[in-house]
Amino acid sequence: MPIEWDWNYKMNNETIKYYIMEIIKNKEFGGERPLFATHDLQLENVTIHTGESALKECSNIIAVNCRFEGKYPFWHTNGFIVKNCLFTEGARAALWYSQNLQMTDTVVEAPKMFREMDGIRLENVQLPNALETLWQCRNVALKNVQIDKADYLFMHSEDIRIENYSQNGNYSFQYCKNVEIRNAVINSKDAFWNTENVTVYDSELNGEYLGWHSRNLRLVNCKISGTQPLCYAHNLIMEDCIMGDDADLCFEYSSVDATINSSVHSVKNPRAGIILAAWEKALKECMGKAAGKIIRGIGVAMPSPFDFVQGIAMADHKFASLKGLNIRQELSRVTGILPSSILFTNDAAAFGMGAWRLNGSRDRHLIGVTLGTGFGACFIVDGCYATYGPGVPIGGELWNYPFRGVIAEDYVSTRWFEKRFAELTGEAIHGVKGMIDLYQAGKYKTETEQVFREFSNSFGEIMVPFMTRFNADMLVIGGGMVLSEQYFLPLIGQYMKANGINASIMTVADTTTAIIAGAAALCDLI
């Protein structure tokens, strides 16, 4: 009499029932196709040794406490349960062209698993070598799954549900559709490229170039790190997310509706309507918190070039989609505040004014600089931004100051670090952090110290003439590079003292707060 076994997991809207006609225990098989085209079979404590296609063209198979060592054991199989099993590295490509798999409490050491399958449930499964796994699969559910070495995971798959998940491996989830992920840590370069209808909840997404060319990508309560995330995305939604300090050059040419509970290191060229919508939302929230109080005006910090008098965007490199737009009129329209009460200043100038205020407004002559992807500068006299006067460069800016046949920014920005480190070591890095990571790992210590020493000398050589003529009391440094100040700030101090500069030098880790404080200070002029 057959044994009936009910599997209470729905796949393709049908409950699978297995009718066990035969039980095989404590056996070993090898060679070619030892159990080819068998049906209604239960395996217990069975070892499949080296060979091929042990259970090809089968149906209704249960494997418990089994060991699979040979290639391709489950091809063209319909309906099977795998529990407490081991697939060794030799069992590569073990599950292809099959339907309706339930796998629990299993270790899969083999690469290139799960291809062109429909109906997969993995629970409490480990895949330590998941190269090129889960390609062109449909109706996939993962719970409590750990995956490593998972380059090119989930290519061209769809209808995926994942919960309590960790992954290490690049180029994952490319060209996937209809995906829901909860409580995950995903370390993956180039993840979610060209995806459609993907939602990620309560997760960490770490890696470069996240979500490029995606459609309908929704991130809820997620932490995002890595350079250039979420570019060329269509209908990107972010709810209560946090951006890491290294998440720079975000959202280029993307349409974005976002609430982000952190600062954003840098944004590059998102679409104008989305930028304005985000500004409108943020401003209305701030105005709501000020209910019952008189709002004097709005102070806005913008990157150059910008017509700060008329309020017209002019930049090609930052917020390029706003170029030619009268920002003052747009902000007046959405807030109801008179255009004359909306004032603009350079973001570097706002940083300096904010630093002056946050420092207690004690220093008469303060120079503020921001170091990172660019080189911003401002000259502050008694809390006011100076664009001319003794020691003040044209327009109050230093980035384009002629220096060693090029401009100053070419010697003190991130790109110089990348270029110089590559010249000394032959190794490419991304940003200063990449160099420091190698240094802390015990690599290129001499070269890294040389790079920081050369940078400090170049920075000092640029700044000393201006600090002397400006009679600076204080030099304040902000920007992303401040995160590595321990490697260069003492060297800058030494250079300054050696060249007769006695001004105080300090850093501001939270550059964003300083910029906001400086922009708000504009309202004192209304």
Q: Output the CA torsion 488→489→492→493 (10° steps).
A: -150
At 374, is the secondary structure helix, strand, or coil?
A: coil
Residue the block writes with tokens 């992920």: 181
Sequential DSSP letters for 283-311: HHHHHHHTTTS----EEEEEPSSEETTTT
Structure tokens at 175: 């060209």
CB 144 within 8 A of CB 123: yes
For residue 453, the model assigns a pLDDT of 97
Q: Helix or strand or coil: residue 519?
A: helix
Q: What is the pLDDT of residue 270?
A: 62
User: Is the pLDDT confidence value at 265 over 80?
Assistant: no
Please tell me the distance from the alpha carbon of residue 347 to that of residue 339, in angstroms, as a whole number: 20
Q: Which amino acid is at 405?
A: G
Check: CB of residue 260 under 8 Å from CB of residue 279. no
pLDDT in tens, 382-416: 878 888 888 898 878 898 899 999 999 999 999 99
* Segment 429-472, tens digit of pLDDT: 888 988 999 999 999 999 999 999 999 999 999 999 999 999 99
Lookup result for tokens 């349409």 = 255
295-304: pLDDT as tens digits: 888 999 887 7
Q: What is the mean pLDDT of the chain?
A: 87
**Of 410, 456, 413, nearest in space to 431 by CA:** 413
Q: Contact 508/514 with Cβ under 8 angstroms? A: yes
CB 408 within 8 A of CB 415: no
pLDDT tens readout for residues 142-187: 999 999 999 999 999 999 999 999 999 999 999 999 999 999 999 9
pLDDT at 353: 85
Residue 245's identity, in one-letter code, is D
Instruction: Give pLDDT, residue 447.
Output: 96
pLDDT at 46: 95
Q: Do residues 59 and 77 touch, judged by C-beta distance below 8 A?
A: yes
Position of tokens 């509970």?
A: 261
The answer to pTM > 0.85 is no
The pLDDT of residue 1: 28
pLDDT of residue 426: 93
Largest Cα separation within the chain, whole Å, is 101
- For residues 268 and 252, the answer to whether their CB atoms sit within 8 Å is yes
Name residues whose C-beta falls within 8 Å of residue 413's C-beta, 6 or more positions apart in sequence. 371, 372, 373, 374, 375
Look at residue 271 in the predicted model and tell me its pLDDT: 63
Give the pLDDT confidence score for residue 390 in this predicted structure.
Answer: 87
Please state which of the ranges 359-363, 373-377, 390-394 shows the lowest mean pLDDT: 359-363
Tokens of 349: 């100038």
Could you give the 3-state DSSP secondary structure of residue 431?
A: helix
**CA gap 62, 130 in Å, rounded:** 23
The helix (run of H) or strand (run of E) holding residue 179 is strand 177-187
Say what the pLDDT of residue 42 is: 93
> pLDDT for 92-130, tens place per residue?
898 999 999 999 999 999 999 999 999 999 999 999 999
pLDDT class for 313, splitting at 50, 70, 90? confident
| Locus of tokens 């409108």 | 280
Q: How far is CA 451 from CA 407, 423, 462, in A?
A: 18, 10, 17
Q: What is the mean pLDDT of residues 263-275?
A: 63
**Across 257-271, 331-345, 384-398, least confident range:** 257-271
3 state DSSP class of 10: strand
Q: What is the pLDDT of residue 274?
A: 60
Helices (H), 266-425: 272-289, 327-335, 347-358, 409-412, 414-425
247: confidence class by pLDDT, cuts 50, 70, 90: confident
Return the number of other C-beta atoms located less than 10 Å from residue 514's C-beta: 26
What is the tens place of the pLDDT at every residue in 277-294?
A: 667 777 877 888 877 788
> Token match 């590059």: residue?
268
Q: What is the pLDDT of residue 17?
A: 45
HSE at residue 345, side-chain half, CA atoms within 13 A, is: 30
